[in-house]
Structure 1
């Protein structure tokens, strides 16, 4: 919670002052009682001491003053509001290095589980696409709101081959452009893709790319940074995730069909450069827990926006309730208000 006028909270200092004044007045009560010289008559007039009950209405009034001060400071509550629509393209590495077990149980299994989490956290109106890449690139699911088909495709991912990261990113840009291109009312087909960026300056992106890779680019037509510039020109931010540890190893098949054990460290430097070029963000996920946390956060970051709501009314309402409660108890117990 934040405050629009936080300096008003200085007014809370009056509450302990009033509490101290009340305590002083209570300590002086025995002196007033001593002035009544006929103690036998006093015992007949006063039925009994109210005890602790006499302190409750003043405490309620002090709390009401504190609530009013907080209301005057204009408290702002930050809430997450789901976006109405958007497109998320999951670009997932399925190269042979995803068999590495430095991420429990394997990099591939951890990536699949995290992808399921991300898809589930996106708002219902979002379209999701799944692209898998190894030596080649496959658009497994075009942008759709049917999350079941995306989940099914994620479960079918299987690691094999090289790493065509640049080609996968370029394909994802084409998928986003096709999904967001206006339709031609005459023919019903997509109109030519506009040259202008998909989003204006300072405007929330209607589409993002989530790129997960566990190694360096090894094959393909596009270099990763060339594809990143295509995304930047289209106004599409890329959130890049480097999966695995520097010491990760995997058993791969070489061009001669022989099995070899090779080191497969993630290329975080390239992924970070891609994110910076496109206005996105790069993450390192050395383990399954970190990857799951990153994908959960990405789901919130992409699918929701933070909105500040003025809740001053709550402080004012609470103050009113406290004053009413204090007055009611005073009338019931002592026949006076306040």
Structure 2
């Protein structure tokens, strides 16, 4: 049935209305800020799934951290279902592992940037508590782990002081390197990146070969799949893809795409204060644990809402334990190969079974049977001329004639021709009157 244009327009408008209403009532679990304060979820740890660990900070209306809340002040909701806390750790009770990623490209030698970066990293390391650890990664055209995770502040600061500017900018590769370094660290994991420019891969200011081998999207996806937020600090002059300086749109994309945060420092002298504030904020977080109300290995996303002190914030996570082929293709391949083997097993067995059984027509394919057939001396058929002549007058006869057409004499009946027989077991031809097959020895069934 053909609908009128007016009817189609009404249906389309109705569809838009339904979509708008659905979007209006969808839950949004982001950090919320109002006159009462703010709740920010900084990390969701699913390494012990179905137990989930949430790291969150709560601030008041003035922006000051609230560090005196108790277990009863928090409520967690996953996908609309309230859950009970299985663990609660207040501020200062959780160890923190921080990967300090510092740009040491040639441009960091300008305007005291590298000195400011060293001072900021030194200030951060000086605030490490006994259970905290930090690692140092530097990048220019290449990425280098200068100091693996350590709680030795003197060794870390000595490694920081050895940083010198030179070369291009491989920002995206440094993020992937830091995610790998943080992967097996327990507790709170922090990835803090400082840069004053753009990755040479996407910049018109330096050759692409001095940049990353991975793209921006690959770096973001890699960090997000590992559940690793990235905190990015942009230093110095604001630029863009067409001129030197930091490309804030890219840095914000990295931060928001990984549920991290972006900070801007126009002057290198401000970095130490910024890093000190960040260290204090990290040490003021709460660690809340609970059991997921849907403890299934189904690869689906779960949304989390945290309520405390009259405000709420939220985040989400994806259950990756089903088959995480994206993060490790070798695991997926190892699981796939046995399945392919099982699929091909019936055909292999059928082929082998068919090879072991006798073929129905061995004369066309079995050389042994061909040789056996040629070795059997088949009886010569009677001479058609002698067999088809009258016994009285030697006149020619038609095949099957009972009387001679010339003299009328009665003709003897001719014996039927011998029929060739074959072995029931192997299919090879049998000699006339044979009691056993000369190839396989099977007794001949007389019919």
Pick aligned residue for 1:139 from 135, 145, 150: 145
SS of residue matched to 2:234: strand
CA 1:122–1:246: 2 relative to 1, 3 Å: same
Residue number in structure 1 paired with 2:101: 91
Pick aligned residue for 1:212 from 186, 194, 214: 194
CA 1:304–1:77: 2 relative to 1, 3 Å: closer
8 Å Cα contact 2:67-2:284 kept in structure 1? no
Q: Which has the larger radius of gyration?
A: 2
Residue number in structure 1 paired with 2:135: 129
Mapped to 2, the partners of 1:177 and 1:216 lie a distance apart of 26
1:228 and 2:220 matched: yes
**1:123 Cα deviation from its structure 2 partner:** 2.3
8 Å Cα contact 2:67-2:91 kept in structure 1? no
Residue number in structure 2 paired with 1:112: 118
- CA-atom RMSD in angstroms: 2.7
Mapped to 2, the partners of 1:244 and 1:119 lie a distance apart of 23
Pick aligned residue for 1:149 from 134, 143, 155: 155
Residue number in structure 2 paired with 1:69: none
SS of residue matched to 2:183: helix
8 Å Cα contact 1:91-1:131 kept in structure 2? yes
8 Å Cα contact 2:98-2:135 kept in structure 1? yes
SS of residue matched to 1:228: helix
**1:230 Cα deviation from its structure 2 partner:** 0.9
Mapped to 2, the partners of 1:150 and 1:164 lie a distance apart of 23
TM-score (norm 2): 0.40
8 Å Cα contact 1:83-1:123 kept in structure 2? no
Residue number in structure 2 paired with 1:239: 231
CA 1:281–1:77: 2 relative to 1, 3 Å: closer
Q: 4+ runs of 1 displaced by more than 3 Å?
A: 76-80
8 Å Cα contact 2:128-2:151 kept in structure 1? no
Residue number in structure 1 paired with 2:270: 290
TM-score (norm 1): 0.53
In the alignment, structure 2 segments of 5+ residues that lack a partner are: 1-35, 37-64, 69-89, 201-210, 288-308, 310-447
Mapped to 2, the partners of 1:164 and 1:135 lie a distance apart of 5
Mapped to 2, the partners of 1:116 and 1:94 lie a distance apart of 15
Mapped to 1, the partners of 2:176 and 2:66 lie a distance apart of 40
1:162-201 correspondence runs (5 A):
162-180=168-186
Mapped to 1, the partners of 2:258 and 2:128 lie a distance apart of 21
1:14-29 correspondence runs (5 A):
none
1:268 and 2:248 matched: yes
**1:223 Cα deviation from its structure 2 partner:** 1.8
Mapped to 2, the partners of 1:279 and 1:87 lie a distance apart of 18
In the alignment, structure 1 segments of 5+ residues that lack a partner are: 1-5, 7-75, 181-204, 248-262, 311-338
8 Å Cα contact 2:101-2:191 kept in structure 1? yes
Number of positions where the alignment pairs a residue of Structure 1 with one of Structure 2: 193
Higher relative contact order structure (alpha carbons within 8 Å, sequence separation ≥ 6)? 1
CA 1:77–1:131: 2 relative to 1, 3 Å: closer
**1:306 Cα deviation from its structure 2 partner:** 6.0
8 Å Cα contact 2:238-2:248 kept in structure 1? no
8 Å Cα contact 1:83-1:304 kept in structure 2? no
Structure with greater helix share of residues = 1
Mapped to 2, the partners of 1:242 and 1:222 lie a distance apart of 20
**1:85 Cα deviation from its structure 2 partner:** 1.1
**1:124 Cα deviation from its structure 2 partner:** 2.2
Mapped to 1, the partners of 2:93 and 2:99 lie a distance apart of 16
8 Å Cα contact 2:170-2:212 kept in structure 1? yes
Mapped to 2, the partners of 1:288 and 1:153 lie a distance apart of 19
